Structure 1
Amino acid sequence: MKINSMYPPGASGGIRAYASATVDGCLGIRGIKVVEGGRDGLFV
């Protein structure tokens, strides 16, 4: 898996980052959000 890009969201509350990824050069996934989960930490 390759992370193509990752960028900060600006002032979007609990969202910590957005990302795009490519799996084995075949499957592209866009719009991945890394979100602050309170006491549980970060999750996707």
Structure 2
Amino acid sequence: MAQSKGTKIEETHDNDFLDMMKGTMIFTGLFMGIALVGGVLAYFIK
């Protein structure tokens, strides 16, 4: 019983880490895309 709980906690930590990595990548990609579009627009409007 204790072993199955330990395994479940480890799996939860792994899933949390992967979810955090995925969220960070999406968040960073979104803002990099906004910055890129803004930079291109600023360059052509100038």
Q: TM-score range by the shorter chain?
A: under 0.3
- Greater relative contact order, per chain length (Cα 8 Å cut-off, separation 6+): 1
Query: Structure 1 length normalisation: TM-score?
Result: 0.18
**Higher share in helix:** 2
Query: Structure 2 length normalisation: TM-score?
Result: 0.18
**Higher share in strand:** 1
